[in-house]
Amino acid sequence: MALADLNQSLTKRAAFTQVNSQNRARTISQTIVRAICFCCAMFSIIATASIFFILFSESLPFFQKVSVVEFFTGREWTMMGAQQKFGVLPLLVGTLLITIGSGIVSIPLGLFVGIYLSEYAPSKVRKVLKPILELLAGVPSVVFGYFALSLVTPALRGGTSWIGEILPTLNPLLPEFRPANAAAGAIVVGFMTLPLVCSLCEDALTAVPKSLREAAYGLGCTKAEVIAKIVIPSALSGIIASFILALSRAVGETMAVTIAAGATPQLTFNPGNEVMTMTAQIVNVSKGDVSRGDMRYQSIFAIGLTLFLITFALNILAQRFVRKMGRTGS
């Protein structure tokens, strides 16, 4: 009897310790996996830190030869010949022209499409429209470059000559479009950023509570009045965030503007002229084989740093607006 008892308790204990060791193995693997996942999450911070560090440290040799003031106020960028000049203003203005021009296309159009999607579209139409916009967002940048060269620029030329024929008095005002021009670049970048504006505006508008709309309808407003006076003002910070993000995307856009807007850095505000953006300049230098000690190699890091700081500031600003919406909305 006592022996059987002992025996039973021993088996129990054996089973117990077995579970325990199994448990320990499970806990260990849990800890290991958790640690691995943590490292992967930290990887994104390392990537951001490296970007900061590399852009600063690699552009340091450049700024030792060209002062920061000279870089930001110089009106000329030439790398050919003995007289190299590194004034970033022409590139900055080129980027600005493209960005503003793209905003003129994408902001109003995107807002109206966003309103249509959230307020007017029947669910069946929305189900078709949204994948189409997603597809537009997925079209590679190079393709938009081709589109600009083969369709947008000819259309711009045709359009201006047509206006010139009908209203000859306007003729001196119309820009003459070169094969590569800022306007075509701006228009295609506007098309590229359009889906972003559409979907973010739609999200912001849909988040406006139904009760607000119903209260306005109850007061006898028409649908357009409800949208313009109630829905848009309450979604305003989200809408503004979408505009800022689209502009930030346009600043960093590279291939389409390289193809469409040209490769001549010049300080111009004429949309018919060739301009070179900061990104296009980086591509231009990278295509040639330049070594690390070369001034040209170092200059792209100075441009990259400028580009990065601009987009970073815009993104932070957009996040501010998004957070504001989170607080006031709902």
Return the number of the residue (27 or 78) whose C-beta is nearest other proteins.
27
Which phi and psi angles does 76 have, rounded to 5°? Answer: -140, 140
- Residue corresponding to tokens 């006592």: 2
Least Å distance, CB 1 to other proteins, is 34
Return the number of the residue (132 or 167) whose C-beta is nearest other proteins.
132
Least Å distance, CB 87 to other proteins, is 21
Query: What burial class does residue 195 get, using C-beta atoms within 10 Å of its C-beta: 0-12 exposed, 13-18 middle, 19+ buried?
Result: buried
Provide the β-strand partners of residue 77. Answer: 86
CA-only gyration radius of the chain, Å:
29
DSSP string, 258-311: HHHH-S-------TTS----HHHHHHHHHHS---TTSHHHHHHHHHHHHHHHHH
Distance of CA 154 to the CA centre of its chain: 27
- Nearest-angstrom CA–CA distance, 261 and 91: 12
Q: Which residues of 220-235 are buried (b: 16+ CB within 10 A; e: fewer)?
A: ebeeeebbeebbbebb
Return the number of the residue (97 or 241) whose C-beta is nearest other proteins.
241
- Nearest-angstrom CA–CA distance, 230 and 223: 10
Least Å distance, CB 3 to other proteins, is 33
Return the number of the residue (36 or 104) whose C-beta is nearest other proteins.
36
Least Å distance, CB 271 to other proteins, is 20
Least Å distance, CB 7 to other proteins, is 27
Least Å distance, CB 300 to other proteins, is 7
Least Å distance, CB 131 to other proteins, is 7
Return the number of the residue (275 or 307) whose C-beta is nearest other proteins.
307
Return the number of the residue (6 or 28) whose C-beta is nearest other proteins.
28
Return the number of the residue (174 or 255) whose C-beta is nearest other proteins.
255
Least Å distance, CB 241 to other proteins, is 12
Return the number of the residue (12 or 323) whose C-beta is nearest other proteins.
323
- Nearest-angstrom CA–CA distance, 5 and 34: 43
- With beta carbons less than 8 A apart as the criterion, state whether 207 and 325 touch: yes
C-alpha distances in angstroms, 226 versus 125, 154, 238?
Answer: 22, 41, 18
